[in-house]
Amino acid sequence: MESQTIAAIATGLTESGIGIIRISGPESYEIIRKIFRTKSGKEPDLQESHRVHYGFIMNVSRETSDQFLDEVLMLNMKGPRSYTGEDTIEIDCHGGVLMMKRVLDTVIRSGARLAEPGEFTKRAFLNGRLDLSQAEAVIDVINAKNDRALRASVAQLKGSVSRRIRECREKLLEDTAYIEAALDDPEHIELDGFSEKLGQDVEETEKILRHLIDTAEDGRIMKEGIRTAIVGKPNAGKSSLLNVLLGEERAIVTDIAGTTRDTLEETINLKGVTLNMIDTAGIRETEDTVERIGVERALKAAREADLVIYVVDSSVPLEEADRQITSFLNENQKKAIVLLNKNDLKPAVTEGELRDLLPKETRILSVSAKEEAGIRELEDLIEEMFYRGGISYNDELYITSARQKEALIHAVSSLEQVKNSIAQDMPEDFYSIDLMNAYTELGYILGEEVDEDLVNEIFSKFCMGK
């Protein structure tokens, strides 16, 4: 029941300087009066909202009464001027895990119940403080892995996506209302020539929505990182490259070919770009059952990757394994970077020789993982390939939710139906049906007309105190 008062630890459940216990609901003020005392031993004066109070939490339980528990700061916020839109209390106590749990236990004993994951933000949505796209941005802010993802999430939290979607919905609603009014009152409202204006409005709206759809891949990469598979034949230097990028000896490196038998996954941040790196087993024909399974997993990782880094041992001639990998890159048309590794040794492979085997757009760099030469150029190239150098410093909108992308695609499909109806000179009521379908789909992004199960699913992914 949304009328219940809820409470949870809002900070990480770990040793820290300060821990925050959040309380929200109609009994928040009553609860804090039971358990908080000022330095002079009085109940707090809560008449004025958004004030910080210094005092003590008292341990109210059946066993003890008015026992001092912790020295705290307490902030009171009257609804609707709070995160949830309800009366809210935040207690800043000492950050020990045991202390935070004891303060929370005291709050619950005094009338609150433990909040469910994401319930504070869910209440903010239900009380109109946030729309659903902004609520989704909250968890993206928490989970952001790099500066680009953080900036995009903060922009969406501030309403950048919401404003654009609302503008499109207003235009669709305006055109639909005009059609309905004209159909109800044809003597005073004419539809002659309206289809031309409607066609222009639909074209402009569809252009905006298609652009948002086009940002979804960049949005996914910012949010989740670039799935990056490092492939090559055994002993080409794949694990050495991973260790250099990580800045630590994470992968085992030996002179024995085939040391890596399975995939090894690590996440690194290069110049604000998150790479989910997968070091794979060397690709070659082998009778070893375990190694053959590793090769199969390497090819699977490469097929699912956003970026393939193909490491070539430039000190030995190309072999059948190299031709197998270059054939894979040609067949799958993956974004790929080829590294001519071991450039500190006498070369046996030229860039021109490789170029003849690779897709035309493939970039080739000469590096030495052992000497850490060419690594800076590799970092710059990855940034250029995926972000073109300016993605994090403009006001561009990015769709980072698969749910939002799906709604946009459905809305565009409905607008295409409107354009088809106009081209075929169909009756105007056909226009309004598809216009309202597009309007409804865009409403799903904001959280209008969504069912309770979807809302619960979205907020269940949040942490307990958010």
- The CATH number given to whatever domain includes residue 375 is 3.40.50.300
DSSP-derived secondary structure for 370-436 = TTTBSHHHHHHHHHHHHHTTTTTSS-------HHHHHHHHHHHHHHHHHHHHHHTT--HHHHHHHHH
Whether residues 39 and 52 fall in one domain: yes
Whether residues 138 and 185 fall in one domain: yes
In this structure, the number of other CB atoms found within 10 A of the CB of residue 24 comes to 28
- What pLDDT is recorded for position 256? 37
Whether residues 197 and 274 fall in one domain: no
Whether residues 183 and 260 fall in one domain: no
Could you give the CA distance from residue 407 to residue 212 in angstroms, rounded to a whole number?
Answer: 11
Whether residues 206 and 275 fall in one domain: no
Whether residues 43 and 105 fall in one domain: yes
Residue 244 lies in a domain: yes
Whether residues 146 and 192 fall in one domain: yes
Ranges of beta strands (E only) in 324-418 are 335-341, 363-366
Domain end call among 387, 419, 438: 387
- Judging by DSSP bridges, how do beta strands 113-114 and 226-231 pair with one another? unpaired
Q: What tokens does 75 get?
A: 């902030």
The amino acid at 203: E
Residue 393 lies in a domain: no
Range of the domain at 60: 6-130
SS3 67: strand
Whether residues 37 and 181 fall in one domain: no
- What pLDDT is recorded for position 409? 96
- What pLDDT is recorded for position 283? 63
Whether residues 87 and 182 fall in one domain: no
- Judging by DSSP bridges, how do beta strands 113-114 and 36-38 pair with one another? unpaired
Whether residues 246 and 347 fall in one domain: yes
Residue 37 lies in a domain: yes
Q: Residue 325's Cα: distance from chain center in Å?
A: 32
What pTM does this model have? 0.73
Nearest residue to 238 via CA among 262, 204, 274 = 262
Residue 465 lies in a domain: no
Q: Is 346 exposed, middle or buried (0-12, 13-18, 19+ CB in 10 A)?
A: exposed
Q: At 161, which CATH number? A: 1.20.120.430
Q: Computed from CA positions of residues 80, 82, 85, 87, in that sequence, does the dihedral angle turn out positive or negative?
A: negative
- What pLDDT is recorded for position 162? 92
Residue 459 lies in a domain: no
Residue 172 lies in a domain: yes
- What pLDDT is recorded for position 390? 38
Whether residues 140 and 123 fall in one domain: no
Residue 466 lies in a domain: no
- Judging by DSSP bridges, how do beta strands 67-77 and 88-94 pair with one another? antiparallel
- What pLDDT is recorded for position 292? 61
Query: Which residues are CB-contacts of 114 (< 8 A; sequence separation ≥ 6)?
Result: 6, 7, 8, 104, 108
Residue 463 lies in a domain: no
Nearest residue to 22 via CA among 84, 95, 68 = 84
Domain end call among 63, 98, 130: 130
Backbone phi, then psi, for 122, in 5-degree steps? -60, -40
Side-chain half-sphere CA neighbours of 73 within 13 A: 9
Whether residues 299 and 414 fall in one domain: no
- What pLDDT is recorded for position 394? 44
- What pLDDT is recorded for position 261? 40
Q: At 98, which CATH number? A: 3.30.1360.120
One digit per residue, the tens of pLDDT, for the chain of length 466 reads: 458 999 999 988 888 889 999 999 999 999 999 999 999 999 999 999 999 999 999 987 655 555 789 999 999 999 999 999 999 999 999 988 999 999 999 999 999 999 998 899 999 999 999 988 888 888 888 877 777 778 888 888 888 899 999 999 999 999 999 888 888 887 777 777 788 889 999 999 999 999 999 888 878 877 888 888 888 888 888 888 888 888 755 443 334 344 444 457 788 887 767 888 887 766 655 555 555 666 677 778 888 888 888 888 888 888 888 888 888 888 887 788 998 888 888 888 888 888 888 888 888 988 888 888 888 888 888 878 876 543 333 446 788 888 999 999 999 999 999 999 999 988 887 888 999 999 999 999 998 866 777 677 777 766 666 7
Number of domains composing the chain: 3
Could you give the CA distance from residue 103 to residue 110 in angstroms, rounded to a whole number?
Answer: 11
